[in-house]
Amino acid sequence: KIHLGSDGKLYNSIGDDGDTPANSQNVTVKNGKMHRINPDGSIPSDNPVFTQTGAIGGLFAMGLRNSWDFTFDPTQAANPYPHIFASENGPNCDDEMNRIVATYNYGWRPSYPCDDEAAGGPSPVYKPIAPPGYVQNGPGGEPPKHPTLSNANHERPRQQSPRRAGV
């Protein structure tokens, strides 16, 4: 997908290339990333900087699986970048909604476990953060029989928490 941001830049999300998660962590390939470019195709001088050797120009965020689509928050001014929200879907699990932040790594990689709570699963920096009012688990950790909206008792909500990438 490609969209024009409120800052006049083009934002483009590119999937990992057919379930090839290593692409998402490799800054020398375009797949598994969100990119930011000028409408004429050049790289904006105020783009975020990725310090890894060989990082391609235009990178905005990395570690993405397959951003199905994304949108900009119309209530927030670009400062310096617009607020971006992207839906992610994967092969079997952990579909998510992410707030895309410049230079962040969203964690898609080889051997990514479907259950974030699994032994040997991802680092806690990948643990989702709670959307306001969402309850994932009941008081004993079991899913509630009837989903409710509350700010209490949430243990594992569904919005991805990003990690800074090489800055």
Give 33-42 pLDDT, tens digit per residue. Answer: 999 999 999 9
Take residue 97 and report the two structure tokens written for it: 């909604």
Distance of alpha carbon 166 from alpha carbon 149, whole angstroms: 37
Residues 6+ apart with CB under 8 A from 42: none
Q: Which of 100-104, 107-111, 146-150 has the highest mean pLDDT?
A: 100-104
Residue 21 near residue 122 (C-beta atoms within 8 A): no
- What band does 114 get if pLDDT is binned at 50, 70 and 90? low
Give the pLDDT score at 150.
Answer: 36
Ranges 66-70, 99-103, 127-131: which has the least confidence: 127-131
What's the whole-number average pLDDT of the chain? Answer: 75
Q: Which amino acid is at 10?
A: L
Residue 18's pLDDT is: 78
Region 127-140: mean pLDDT is 49
Cα dihedral 114, 84, 67, 69 sign:
positive
Q: Is 25 helix (H, G, I), strand (E, B) or coil?
A: helix
Backbone angles phi, psi at 96, to 5 degrees: -155, 165
Per the CB < 8 A criterion, the answer to whether 144 and 135 are in contact is yes
pLDDT at 25 over 70: yes
pLDDT score, position 144: 45
